[in-house]
Structures are given as structure tokens and as C-alpha cells.
């Protein structure tokens, strides 16, 4: 069986990390609650005025590398690999990806490769970058 897992929001807590940084930087402006989010791009769920501030957070150096794992997600991935399933991580980098692509690889290296038996998980063969998020809208 082949399993495709999204990196942000499935393995890595993009929403929680963004919200934490937003509250720290802009305590007077409440973040959009996660359950009120409707757009793929988080900036599109904010009014026009603070969008540059929104982008500044997730485009900053270290943001993607420092995303915390979603509780239980990494163990679930390891369990699937141990069960013999082919597990791949799919992710869409930002259009302005100065730090994003490298940091996504570094995140996988830190949270999966470094903590897995030698050779069992390689970011070079298990991390797929896509230009779009086509699988999120597929009927299957």
C-alpha cells in the first residue's frame, strides 16, 4: 500500500506555530481561529491590511524548520512504515520559497531521519514537492 501524507497540518503543526508567533508579535490583533479558516493560503483568511504581517511570519528564516510535530503523527508514520507500507510526504512549497524548501527537508531530517533506524527513511526518496495541492481536492 502507498500512503501520501501532507507535511504541514498532518505531520507538522503549521497552524499552531503560526498562531503562537502571531500572538507573540501582534498581541492586539487576534488571529483568525483555525476553525474559521477556509483558504489553502493562510494569508487569504486575513483582511488585506495585515496580510504582509501574516506572510512575514511564515516566510521568516527558521519558521518551517521549527514547526512542532503534531502529537502522535510521527509515531503513526513510523507504524505505517513498520507495517510495510510505502509512506511518502507530499508538500507544496511557498511561491516565495527563500527558506521553505530547504527547511522542509531539514524538518524531515530532524524529526524522522535522525530518529529512525539507519536507512529506513530518506528525505531524498520520501519527500515529494508539488506545485499544487491537487490531492486535497481529488474525490478519492
| Cβ pair 46, 32 in contact under 8 A | yes
For residues 19 and 39, give the distance between their C-alpha atoms in angstroms, rounded to a whole number: 16
Question: Given the C-alpha cell 524548520, which residue does it identify?
Answer: 65
Which of 4, 2, 1 is closest to 138 using CA atoms? 4
Of the candidates 8, 13, 44, 79, the residue annotated as catalytic is: 8
45 is catalytic: no
Which of 124, 117, 135 is closest to 40 using CA atoms? 135
| Cβ pair 25, 102 in contact under 8 A | no
Question: Given the C-alpha cell 512549497, which residue does it identify?
Answer: 93
State the catalytic residues: 6, 8
Amino acid at each position: 500500500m502507498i500512503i501520501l501524507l501532507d507535511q504541514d497540518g498532518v505531520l507538522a503543526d503549521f497552524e499552531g506555530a503560526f498562531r503562537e508567533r502571531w500572538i507573540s508579535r501582534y498581541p492586539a490583533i487576534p488571529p483568525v481561529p483555525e476553525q474559521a479558516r477556509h483558504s489553502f493560503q493562510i494569508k487569504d483568511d486575513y483582511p488585506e491590511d495585515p496580510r504582509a504581517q501574516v506572510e512575514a511570519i511564515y516566510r521568516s528564516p527558521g519558521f518551517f524548520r521549527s514547526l512542532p510535530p503534531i502529537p502522535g503523527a510521527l509515531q503513526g508514520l513510523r507504524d505505517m512504515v513498520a507495517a510495510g507500507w510505502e509512506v511518502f510526504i507530499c508538500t507544496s512549497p511557498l511561491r516565495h520559497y527563500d527558506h521553505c524548501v530547504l527547511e522542509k527537508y531539514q524538518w524531515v531530517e530532524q524529526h524522522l531521519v535522525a530518529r529512525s533506524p539507519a536507512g529506513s527513511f530518506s528525505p531524498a526518496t520520501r519527500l515529494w514537492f508539488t506545485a499544487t495541492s491537487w490531492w486535497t481536492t481529488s474525490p478519492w
